[in-house]
Amino acid sequence: MASLTCRTNIIRIFQLNLLNRTPNLVCTRSFKRWKRPYLQELYKRRNEVGPEKPRHRSAFYNWNYDSELYAFTKRLNEDVSLDSLKKAFTHSCYIEAEKRKRESLEMDTDDIDDTHNEEYCKKGLSFLEECTKKKLSEFLPQVPNYGINSISSNLCSIETVSRVAKNLGFRDLQLCEEETDEILHDSFVAFLGLLLTEGSQQRCEKFITDFILSLLISDDVLQMLEIRNPHEILSKNFQGEITTRILFENGRNTVESAFLIGVYADRKLIGYSGGETEQIAEEMAMKDAVYRQIGLKSNQFNINTLLKSSA
């Protein structure tokens, strides 16, 4: 059918050409056989080039830095001046990159604003650690210092802080050469420094409890608690020798073996745990004994007391 219509079309145009003496134009309707290889070629070339480089948000048309900064302050309900906020978001690497860029274009580098967030970073970083430690020791008074330190270093780690910063819109606003987790962490910390200088210590504490300490709701505290040598800790806190004993065992030397090991101090059971080998079960049981001694169980505390303490 298609070939038939195609042929008639050509004949008609040919006849018209004879009568009107117009330029020889041949129009055909057909299945576009060139299209498939054309698309295939485009697809192949796209794959060869690889995915598009991620561009900064400011590379797009709809971007107004000042109004974004304003929206940022309003969103987090923190009133700070926009100039200092801009300073807190400017990293030194950005200024260097800008200078290099201008030099390569043989432009003036004198009018570049040299202010960057190093001061704020230092101020914010020390305060973040100090504040989380203080708040955690108030909130979990039974946990000894080594526990508080490991929980707070987990909460202030680059991965955690950058995750928070990413979800608070720091990513688009920070001025840097290359976006990394470290830079995101620095931006967050610099914002804390800014809150300290422009606002008050209390305001900064509130910000930290709202966005960093509230992570304790979902993140496992026991995972954050790093216990390197449980035996040592237990022998310090209990009198008598610390011994372990197999309470139950199942299917030794099989794929589905299971052991339940108890830890004893002075002939009293102080903790127990199961595991698929004796070593794992013993290690877990020792940790369990330490958790029980501290009085900390997985997320069994009322976080509201912490969140509302600074309200």
The site for other proteins (CB under 8 A) is made up of 61-62, 64, 67-68, 70-72, 74-77, 164, 166-169, 171-172, 209-211, 213-215, 217-220, 247-248, 250, 258, 260, 273-274, 298-300, 303, 307
Cβ atoms of residues 142 and 296 within 8 Å: yes
Q: CB of residue 248 vs other proteins: minimum separation in angstroms? A: 5
- Name which of 120 and 259 has its Cβ closer to other proteins: 259
Reported as type and span, the H/E element at residue 250 is: strand 242-250
Contacts of residue 69, Cβ cutoff 8 Å, sequence gap at least 6: 82, 85, 86, 89, 173
Q: CB of residue 303 vs other proteins: minimum separation in angstroms? A: 7
Q: CB of residue 126 vs other proteins: minimum separation in angstroms? A: 22
Contacts of residue 114, Cβ cutoff 8 Å, sequence gap at least 6: 95
- Name which of 99 and 171 has its Cβ closer to other proteins: 171
Report d(CA 229, CA 287) in Å as an integer: 9
Report d(CA 165, CA 180) in Å as an integer: 12
- Name which of 86 and 99 has its Cβ closer to other proteins: 86
Contacts of residue 269, Cβ cutoff 8 Å, sequence gap at least 6: 262, 263
Q: CB of residue 259 vs other proteins: minimum separation in angstroms? A: 9
Structure tokens at 137: 């020791």
- Name which of 144 and 169 has its Cβ closer to other proteins: 169
- Name which of 95 and 212 has its Cβ closer to other proteins: 212
Q: CB of residue 71 vs other proteins: minimum separation in angstroms? A: 4
